Amino acid sequence: MLATLITQPEPLLVLALLLVAGAVSGALARRVGLPSVTGQILAGICIGPVFHVFSHETVSGFAPVIDFALGLMAVAVGSYLQLARLKSAWRRLWILMAAEALITPALVFAGVMLFPDVRWETALILATIAVSTAPATILSIVKETRSKGVFVKTLVAAVALNNIACIALFEFAHTAALRAADPNTVASTLTLILAPLEELFYAVMLGGGIGVLLVVATRHIVRTDRVTTLSLMTILLTAGLADQLGISSLLACLVLGVVLANLTPDKEEIGHSVFENFETAIFAVFFTLAGMELDFAYLAGGGALAAVVFALRGAGKLIAARFAMGMASTTERVRQNLGLALLPQAGLAVGLMLLVTEDDRFPEPMRAVILATVLAVVTLNEIVGPICTRIALARSGDLGADRARLIDFIHEEHIITDMQAETVEEALGQLADVLVSANDLQADRNEILASAMEREGRGSTCLGDGLAVPQADLEEGDSIVGALGISSEGLQFDTPDGMPVHCMVLIATPPSQRDHRLEVMAAFARAILSDRGIELQLYHAHTAAHAYEILHHEESEDFNHFLED
């Protein structure tokens, strides 16, 4: 084997071979319809646990690479928590976070406690770790499959909130278990409550503080090389300081991503985005190394306990997502598939496990059970999870949708349902408010309203059958923006055909896009006037997510076609 031929392999040679193995295995996996992540993990398993090409010491030498990749991906996941963009999704996200924090650990805890030899402290720690989801795996699959839509927005934001909840629950469980396992530990009930809050506070202070410093430092910098250097320094500093201070580096980097996304929503050239051209290579090395760290010996060591945790964790994810999305009245596609997409589990679970297994204050039998169980469950979830996530993306309709479409400027946050207005001006005012706030426009809302009303004064923009497409001019900008309002009862305006308005789409265009808006208006006309089914669905959509799905699913390609096609 190669490890015996090269007793002390050069790190650059090892890195090159890992990159080749990851790239080739990822490409082969895609050829057979699997996520590239699955192929890379399997390649890592072959290199490591199966054929032992490299020694464990060689692999452990790449720990900084793994830490940087995790930090980079955590920043990317955190960037999905853009408050303005998620305004319409917060209700379902908070319900999902609460459901996952209750249902998944409760099922796992109850199942583990059926084993008479397992202590309640062990069950509690395994239950809280079960909440975690692998952000790197999910983000990689989303990017690889070019997925986009309400489902993806919910999924990635849910992963971020899910891991925040997991870390908070683990801090509670860890402190409680430590107090029970070590009689010399002084931990009051107040400490049990404050431990998770303390972890979150320090992560927010570290990630948030460094994020603000990066925003200030790059405010007047336009050179790409300097922005890239500062971004690299920021991610390394956040992850490194977090590890040094005993704070969750994943949580700190998540906060960093959230801060950058909300303080500089239009400045995508800082943070994780500067590594976009290298993401494929980083993912390939990361997941190949992740596969090398897996060990099938733990599948036998974990035994029946690992099988129970694996099954109940999966059931908890499915039930919690189904329940939460039902409570939030999301579309059936999101409701049926979200839990399936949340099954991958990796880095965070292993990191939390090590906090227990490397702590001598816990008894050795307890540490051995947690080590074997968590590693066995992670091994199973890393092999099965990516496949499930890809299936969920395909079933949701978001797979391959991250391509420019004709009316791509209408997102969930740009849609109002149950719209009510007595006059056309009042309706246009509501849409102008949404258009300015959701698109973060510098344009004045009153100027947009005045432009739309001036156009309306030259003739009704109602196209018939309850559809109105008013237009406004923007003085500057590069692309069309818009807002859509829906009224199932109908707005009683004076229209050419005498019918109430059920759907009003305000389109605002800069000078360079004035000709393009005629094509957009024609697309909405084709959607409503030529397809009675879409008309009825859109006019009676009860949520913005449902309306977005109607306009963007595969059946809408006749009018909302992909521009590259």
Collapsing DSSP states into helix, strand and coil, what is residue 148? coil
Using alpha carbons, list the distances in angstroms from residue 352 to 174, 348, 359.
Answer: 9, 6, 11
| pLDDT over 50 (residue 4) | no
Stretch 230-249: mean pLDDT: 90
Picking from 387, 357, 380, the residue whose alpha carbon sits closest to that of residue 303 is: 380
> Domains in the chain, start-ordered, CATH in brackets?
63-279+295-396 (1.20.1530.20), 412-556 (3.40.930.10)
| Range from 187-201, 325-339, 484-498 carrying the lowest mean pLDDT | 187-201
| pLDDT over 90 (residue 209) | yes
Q: What is the pLDDT of residues 505-549, one digit of tens each?
A: 898 888 877 767 777 777 777 766 666 777 888 888 888 888 888
Cβ atoms of 503 and 536 within 8 Å: the answer is no
Stretch 31-40: mean pLDDT: 86
The C-alpha atoms of residue 153 and residue 80 are separated, in whole angstroms, by 7
Picking from 513, 524, 517, the residue whose alpha carbon sits closest to that of residue 556 is: 524
The H or E element containing residue 318 is helix 297-327
Collapsing DSSP states into helix, strand and coil, what is residue 462? strand
In this prediction, residue 557 carries a pLDDT of: 62
One-letter amino acid identity for 429? G
Where would I find the beta strands (DSSP E) of 285-351? none
Cβ atoms of 138 and 159 within 8 Å: the answer is yes
**For the chain, the helix, strand and coil percentages under 3-state DSSP, each to the nearest 5:** 65, 5, 25
Stretch 282-307: mean pLDDT: 79
Query: Two tokens at 467?
Result: 């559809």
Query: Two tokens at 260?
Result: 């950058």
